[in-house]
Amino acid sequence: MIKLLHVEDDADIREIAMMALELSGEFEILQCSSGSEAIAKARAFAPDVFLLDMMMPGMTGRETLDQMRQDPMLASIPAIFMTARAQHSEIEELLMNGAAKVISKPFDPMALPDQIKQAIQKTDTTK
């Protein structure tokens, strides 16, 4: 089982992602509705991968990841971002700053499990 920490402020998107990932039967999922909640729960959950919404109130996905990276236990966990503002420059910046993948919203729920697994495999081969 792949332990995935999903951070998304939109309840509908959380629900769609949860259903798609549960259907695959390959994920144990912890969902958080904010960056601060994710930071508080990440260490105890010990995820294999982060799935972070980019635009959230209070703290962006990028800021959330930056804070989690300060914890040595969380520093090397692959991060995948989901964003509705999938401009080429923003995607390139996220990838250059350590994102394993950037998924555009609206996303394909049926493709989501494979996209996550491919991103994790890609980071495993680069280590």
Q: Three-state SS string across the chain, please?
A: CEEEEEECCCHHHHHHHHHHHHHHCCEEEEEECCHHHHHHHHHHHCCCEEEEECCCCCCCHHHHHHHHHCCCCCCCCCEEEEECCCCHHHHHHHHHCCEEEEEECCCCCCCHHHHHHHHHHHHHHHC
Query: Residue 127: inside a domain, yes or no?
Result: no
Domain that holds residue 94: 2-117
Q: Give me the pLDDT at residue 32, please.
A: 98
Query: Residue 57: inside a domain, yes or no?
Result: yes
Query: Residue 122: inside a domain, yes or no?
Result: no
Number of compact structural domains in the chain: 1
CATH assignment of the domain containing 107:
3.40.50.2300
pLDDT digits (tens, 9 = 90+) for 29-67: 999 999 999 999 999 999 999 999 999 999 999 999 999
pLDDT digits (tens, 9 = 90+) for 78-116: 999 999 876 888 888 888 888 999 999 999 999 999 999
Query: Residue 123: inside a domain, yes or no?
Result: no
Q: Give me the pLDDT at residue 67, please.
A: 96
Query: Residue 48: inside a domain, yes or no?
Result: yes
Q: Give me the pLDDT at residue 125, please.
A: 57
Query: Residue 99: inside a domain, yes or no?
Result: yes
* pTM check: above 0.85: yes
Query: Residue 104: inside a domain, yes or no?
Result: yes
- Whether residue 127 is predicted with pLDDT greater than 50 in this model: the reply is no
pLDDT digits (tens, 9 = 90+) for 27-39: 999 999 999 999 9
Which residue type sits at 2? I
Query: Residue 126: inside a domain, yes or no?
Result: no
